């Protein structure tokens, strides 16, 4: 049965009908590919029917702006802002200055597939992109303690993910403060504008490195709550100490390098002496003759 026949035989607005529409619009991308594209590149800042995160809720977004405008904005948001477009500037203001990044490899077909997905999901009673359903219970001191243990890797993640401290520093957790591969998270609670935004960020990481790390090792709901409690506690009591930690790390590296060079010098000195002395003695004998 072709797509057109399937669409005619099903009532408009049913879940099955919506899936068919998305499949037709996705074209060469495939429905699963479009869903994955949205999950990886959009879901950390946007929901569909779950309320505002860093960016606006996208449910029925075409009721607010027409598809032509949305297509231009998704294709190159920076160009729209630079042009002085009033609505683009309004979105930036409502997002407290956060700017939507341009997505690499964006084409008109890809934009169309994403907009079709958003339109189809908007018709559902509950979209799969409505946001992670995590308890809104009050956070406790016990959550803070558990969150710190998870961050430091003392408590293993249920799905086998890497401990945050491997890449990120946070003030107040020790004299080195954590890894240096990724940004300081001391103020991440404030940067993500509180609990809801931070939950979304931890549930659907936006950076390529975090996507690769957690794609098959997603955080559990209670783990996310504990980390949110820990980051909220850090934000309220500490300042970022990334620079001090980096200096200490550099000094330790310099000291280690000097120590290794000194040790190698001692070892090679003895080795060279063992080679030079027989040669010297042989030369003396030859001269004496």
Q: Are residues 38 and 84 in the same domain?
A: yes
Q: Are residues 18 and 83 in the same domain?
A: yes
Residue 243 lies in a domain: no
Q: Are residues 181 and 102 in the same domain?
A: no
Q: Are residues 89 and 19 in the same domain?
A: yes
Q: Are residues 17 and 44 in the same domain?
A: yes
Cα distance between residue 274 and residue 46, in whole Å: 70
pLDDT at 5: 39
Residue 107 lies in a domain: yes
User: What's the number of CA atoms in the CB half-sphere (13 Å) around residue 168?
Assistant: 21
Residue 206 lies in a domain: yes
Residue 129 lies in a domain: no
Q: Are residues 111 and 216 in the same domain?
A: no
Residue 184 lies in a domain: yes
Q: Are residues 109 and 66 in the same domain?
A: yes
Q: Are residues 147 and 184 in the same domain?
A: yes
Length of the chain measured in residues: 289
Please count the structural domains in the chain. Answer: 3
Q: Which domain holds residue 221?
A: 141-237
Q: Are residues 212 and 153 in the same domain?
A: yes
How far is it between the farthest Cα atoms of the chain?
Answer: 112
Residue 134 lies in a domain: no
Torsion of CA 226, 47, 163, 195, to 10 degrees: -30
pLDDT at 176: 57
Residue 246 lies in a domain: no
pLDDT at 227: 96
* pLDDT lower than 50: segments of the chain: 1-26, 248-249
Residue 149 lies in a domain: yes
CATH number, position 161 = 1.10.760.10
Q: What is the distance, to the nearest Å, from the Cα of residue 73 to the centroid of all Cα atoms in its chain? A: 22
pLDDT at 38: 92
pLDDT at 13: 41
Total-model pTM: 0.55
Q: Are residues 23 and 92 in the same domain?
A: yes
Q: Are residues 42 and 96 in the same domain?
A: yes
Q: Are residues 179 and 105 in the same domain?
A: no
């Amino acid at each position: 049965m072709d797509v057109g026949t399937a669409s005619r035989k099903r009532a408009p607005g049913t879940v099955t009908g919506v899936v068919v529409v998305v499949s037709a619009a996705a074209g060469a991308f495939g429905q699963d590919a479009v869903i994955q594209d949205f999950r990886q590149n959009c879901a950390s800042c946007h929901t569909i029917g779950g309320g505002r995160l860093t960016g606006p809720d996208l449910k029925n977004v075409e009721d607010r702006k027409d598809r032509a405008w949305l297509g231009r904005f998704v294709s190159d948001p920076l160009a729209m802002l630079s042009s002085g477009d009033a609505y683009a500037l309004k979105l930036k203001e409502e997002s407290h200055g956060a700017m939507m990044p341009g997505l690499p490899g964006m084409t008109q077909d890809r934009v169309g597939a994403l907009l079709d997905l958003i339109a189809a999901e908007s018709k559902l009673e509950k979209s799969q992109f409505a946001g992670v359903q995590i308890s809104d219970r009050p956070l406790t001191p016990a959550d803070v303690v558990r969150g710190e243990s998870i961050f430091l890797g003392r408590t293993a993640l249920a799905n086998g993910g890497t401990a945050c401290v491997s890449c990120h520093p946070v003030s107040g957790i020790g004299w080195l403060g954590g890894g240096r591969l990724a940004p300081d998270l001391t103020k991440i609670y404030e940067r993500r504008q509180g609990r809801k935004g931070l939950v979304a960020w931890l549930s659907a990481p936006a950076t390529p490195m975090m996507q690769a790390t957690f794609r098959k090792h997603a955080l559990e709901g209670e783990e996310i709550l504990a980390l949110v409690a820990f980051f909220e506690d850090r934000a309220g009591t500490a300042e970022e100490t990334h620079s001090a930690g980096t200096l200490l790390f550099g000094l330790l590296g310099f000291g280690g390098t000097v120590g290794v060079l000194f040790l190698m010098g001692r070892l090679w000195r003895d080795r060279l002496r063992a080679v030079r002395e027989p040669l010297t003695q042989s030369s003396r004998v030859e001269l004496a003759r």
